[in-house]
Structure 1
Amino acid sequence: MLSQAEIDKVKAAVEGDDGIQAQAYSRDDGKSRRSRVSLWNHPGDDITGRLARMYRVAGTMEELMGGDEIYHYHSKLMMKDANTGGRHVWHQDYGYWYNNGCLYPNMASVFIPVDNCTRKNSCLQVLRGSHLLGRIDHRRIGEQLGADPERVEKAQKVLEHVYVEMKAGDMLFFHCNLLHTSDQNSSDLRRWVFIVAFNKRSNNPYKEHHHPQYTPMTKVLDSALMECDGQESLEGKWFMKLNDDISIRDKVH
């Protein structure tokens, strides 16, 4: 979905010490490992913002979500560094977002590897078709919310467990109720991925929280990514810190 030149440009944008890296925080996985995250709520007009808003990403998502207007809910760079990266427990994204006042699971994400993702360096794992189970209760595990282990165990017996191995620049579009996880990264290879989450305008959250209410999003041509001059401005992106996440703080069951 992204050419080598495009993924090289994205890598350069997210690797600089003074930009998105400076906004990173880490989360405990409940087993003495941590993964780093940089999360921002508005796309902006830098390289990462253009990637999120390009028709290949936002336009495809809008089409998959039925053609209704969508907006940028947030983007994040998930960083599992070599030999240290923590696991992400089985969860549904709506297990978090439900607590933010989003009435309907009319939300979805685009998973874009910055590095090749294999079983060796903890690629994403999903239960195929698990979005049809509906929202599962979640409880706190370390600094994450995890889906009810009993439900996950039963689901694993009837649904296909898929290791989603991907190359840098591939894209996976998935529903907010899809059960997914990833292991600790004990390899010598880092595993960084860029994830963009979208919400429907009609599903505007009924309460203010740490992610944005409906905010109009202007999609850009696919060519806009390579046309970006590389002068990275993070103005208006609204970066988040760990303690801002009320979906973790307010809901622990």
Structure 2
Amino acid sequence: MDGIVLTQQQKEQYEENGYLILSKFLNGEEVRLLYGIATEDKIMRSNAMDFNDQSNKSTKLTLWFTPGEDVYSLLIRSQSIVDAVQTLLGDGEVCHFHSKLMQKEPKVGGAWEWHQDYGYWYKNGFLYPEAMISVMLALTEANLQNGCLQVLKGSHKMGRLEHSFAGEQQGADMNFVEQALTRLEKVEVVLNSGDLLFFHSNLLHMSEANLSDKARWSLISAYNLSYNIPFREKNTSCITPVNVVADDAFLTSGVRGLSQDSDFLKKENEITLKEN
């Protein structure tokens, strides 16, 4: 990993489009290390949840809140990523809300409906969407065949839309989405393994099912600024400043997969949260 310092032009691009891609954030060897650990991580797999789309295809994800000393969390806490988040979000202390390993398996990996991340997080009681961001690291190639992310460029400027259940997921109000599709550019976010994607909490995005014979795995971390204190979220990771580590810590620590003591989200808790 080479240290990254975002330029003013990149910040303006994020503010205008609602997303920003950094190519080759990790090199091939670094990605192979992470992906190899992830696919062999029994604790990660035992805490994975299935979420069905409207056609009953499912995507697996493992979500945890407090970043620990595992290889994923050391990357999440790296100086380069935290500094980039700081640049894009502005003043305030950067905190880690949660991270998730997304596992969209060949042939069976499901779709994700059009939604905004803040469509979910609003229900956690966060007041300020501009203080929140998602960062996706592609652990495998992401393309149209295996269900890459698709975004509506500039849709974050529309503000939060109402969300309701679509399968076991929450989807944005399709009347608004259909209008947005006629006015905004839909972008297929094709990524190579090791690429990094930053996207605004109100950016409309979706992904199709994985109909290919290749998996699509990604690590997605959500960050929040410490002043954005939620009134319904019990986990305090989201208002605890990140304990930043060196960029190479995930390579040199010798630490491997997730700890059984990690504060994983359980599916029954997620469903309860959505219903409240």
- TM-score range normalised by the length of the shorter chain: over 0.9
* Residues 188, 231 of structure 1: alpha-carbon distance in 2 compared, 3 angstrom cutoff: closer
CA distance in 2, matches of 1:213, 1:121: 31
CA distance in 2, matches of 1:110, 1:208: 20
2:120 matched residue in structure 1: 96
Unaligned segments of structure 1, at least 5 residues? none
Point out the more displaced range, 42-51 or 233-242. Answer: 233-242
Pick aligned residue for 2:275 from 244, 249, 253 = 249
Pick aligned residue for 1:81 from 86, 100, 105 = 105
* Residues 233, 94 of structure 1: alpha-carbon distance in 2 compared, 3 angstrom cutoff: closer
Per the TM alignment, residue 236 of structure 1 is displaced from its structure 2 partner at its CA by: 4.5
- 1:136-166 CA-to-partner distances (Å, cap 9, x unmatched) read 0001111111000000000011110000000
2:57 matched residue in structure 1: 33
* Residues 211, 187 of structure 1: alpha-carbon distance in 2 compared, 3 angstrom cutoff: farther
1:132 matched residue in structure 2: 157
- 1:123-146 CA-to-partner distances (Å, cap 9, x unmatched) read 100000000000000011111110
CA distance in 1, matches of 2:95, 2:213: 37
- Moved segments of 4+, more than 6 Å: none
1:15 matched residue in structure 2: 39
Point out the more displaced range, 214-223 or 41-50. Answer: 214-223
CA distance in 1, matches of 2:186, 2:88: 23
* Residues 211, 158 of structure 1: alpha-carbon distance in 2 compared, 3 angstrom cutoff: farther
CA distance in 2, matches of 1:238, 1:57: 22
Pick aligned residue for 1:55 from 42, 65, 79 = 79
CA distance in 2, matches of 1:235, 1:214: 23
- 1:30-72 CA-to-partner distances (Å, cap 9, x unmatched) read 1120110100001111100011011221221111111421100
8 Å CA contact 1:100, 1:205 repeated in 2: yes
1:44 aligns with 2:68: yes
Unaligned segments of structure 2, at least 5 residues? 1-24
2:13 matched residue in structure 1: none
1:166 matched residue in structure 2: 191
8 Å CA contact 2:224, 2:238 repeated in 1: no
- The residue type paired with residue 275 of structure 2 is R
1:176 matched residue in structure 2: 201
- The residue type paired with residue 224 of structure 1 is A
TM-score, normalising length: structure 2: 0.87
Give the length in aligned residue pairs.
250
Per the TM alignment, residue 6 of structure 1 is displaced from its structure 2 partner at its CA by: 1.4
Give aligned-pair identity as a percent: 38
8 Å CA contact 1:77, 1:194 repeated in 2: yes
* Residues 35, 72 of structure 1: alpha-carbon distance in 2 compared, 3 angstrom cutoff: same
SS at match of 2:147: coil
CA distance in 2, matches of 1:143, 1:226: 36
CA distance in 1, matches of 2:115, 2:258: 33
8 Å CA contact 1:86, 1:185 repeated in 2: yes
Point out the more displaced range, 211-220 or 139-148. Answer: 211-220
8 Å CA contact 1:13, 1:48 repeated in 2: no
Per the TM alignment, residue 247 of structure 1 is displaced from its structure 2 partner at its CA by: 3.6
